[in-house]
Chains A and B, each alone.
Chain A
Amino acid sequence: QITLKESGPTLVKPTQTLTLTCTFSGFSFTTSGVGVGWVRQPPGKALEWLALIFGNDDKRYSSSLKTRFTITKDTSKNQVVLTMTNVDPVDTATYFCVHRRYGDFDYWGQGTLVTVSS
């Protein structure tokens, strides 16, 4: 059974760096094509794909956000970390960790709400 769980701060100040961790179980990065990524959703708004990392350490990012985002993995801990620099109130959102299947996302974490406010 695949599970993913997000963790991190619920409140950060503008210009700070935000670090979110996804801890997963039920699958391995050694399986070909498997990736773990992040999707966010501002309150009342649409989904936005952010980043993806594969077992071979290949990384993909949203075009508009890639200068501020870094995705890394710790295979030994079954964790994926998303780091966002210079956060702004517009980054307030629920952040979901996702399991990539063929390119669709077949498993999602419950999400963690991050508020950016001074």
Chain B
Amino acid sequence: DIVMTQSPDSLAVSLGERATINCKSSQSVLYSSNNMNYLAWYQQKPGQPPKVLIYWASARESGVPDRFSGSGSGTDFTLTISSLQAEDVAVYYCQQYYTYPYTFGQGTKLEIK
């Protein structure tokens, strides 16, 4: 199974500042035939199901604010929130869909400093 490891486990950032969450896969999730990274990012607020923010490592889901961006390739990925808003307080998860079984990271809890 591909192991997804996120860092840090928790993060406190001031409003308006940048937040960066990392995700590392135990093997590459880049499919060479189409040059796509099979990696998604989700946001989960308390009492709610997760919501997809980013897919194909960097494609932003429709309706997601442009302060959210995804980057990286191969085994190392980053979710960046360029200017933290109060409503961004949540737990963030990465997920690989390169191969079965699909696997999630352990989550990163983002709070306001």
Contact = CB atoms under 8 A, between A and B. Distances in A.
Secondary structure at the B interface, as helix, strand, loop or mixed, is: loop
A69 to B, nearest CB: 11
Nearest to B40: A104
A104 B52 contact: yes
Given A46-B93, A46-B107, A109-B49, A104 B101 contact: no
Secondary structure at the A interface, as helix, strand, loop or mixed, is: loop
Given A46-B106, A46-B107, A47-B107, A103 B97 contact: yes
29 contacts: A46-B107, A47-B44, A47-B50, A47-B95, A47-B104, A47-B107, A48-B104, A52-B100, A52-B102, A62-B101, A63-B1, A63-B101, A96-B49, A96-B50, A102-B56, A102-B97, A103-B38, A103-B97, A103-B98, A104-B40, A104-B52, A105-B40, A105-B52, A106-B61, A108-B49, A108-B50, A108-B51, A110-B49, A111-B49
Interface of A: 46-49, 52, 60-63, 96, 101-106, 108-111
